[in-house]
Structure 1
């Protein structure tokens, strides 16, 4: 697609988006995801890699690419804040495991959700179908 048409396409996507959808382009939560991913990498460097940290990193990458509802994004924010809070704690292993499991459950609910009503590939103006 030509670069000069990108704003028009974004406008069309936003116009067709339902209230529970979010357009991720330039979304402020992208910074939050990036910060969380950097935090996980830092934790891996300091404490060594673990299955839970690997799972958190992989799940954050997945969640960053999907459209999250407000409720789902709020849960992700809370889990990221919790991870930031316990990063320097010596007893962080159970907390990290719980965060990894919570993110995994959210990822699974999104990935395996039953599809909503099918949407047409395009709509014609004036109600023509």
Structure 2
């Protein structure tokens, strides 16, 4: 599922580039997708990428393509930053030492 979502997103960016060559934001979209490929993506992140991709595929008007390309690039970078800079969950110990025991 993960690879299909990212592949579909890359195909949408390729299509956008073909329809509106050198649009601002295309390289940013490519870069963000490459970086997202290296991160652990959960279902909410994949759903966000899917929504952005759906919107990219719907864009028809040339000026809207350029504008949404920039917006999508920004959204993907923000998603990438949120994932990459998230604080990891503290590991839970398998057991705890009780410091108040009198066995010592």
Q: TM-score, normalised by structure 1?
A: 0.61
1:101 maps to what in 2?
74
Which residue pairs with 1:56 in the alignment? Answer: 29
Are positions 1:89 and 2:44 aligned together?
no
The 3-state SS of whatever aligns with 1:104 is: helix
Flag the structure with larger Rg. 2
Flag the structure with more relative contact order, 1 or 2, with Cα contacts below 8 A and sequence separation at least 6. Answer: 2
4+ residue segments displaced more than 3 Å = none
1:16 maps to none
Deviation at 1:47, TM superposition (A): 2.2
Structure 1 gaps, min length 5: 1-27
TM-score by length of 2: 0.73
Mind listing any 5+ residue stretches in structure 2 that lack a counterpart?
96-104
- The CA RMSD measured in Å over matched residues stands at 2.3
Number of equivalences: 94
1:44 Cα offset (Å): 2.3
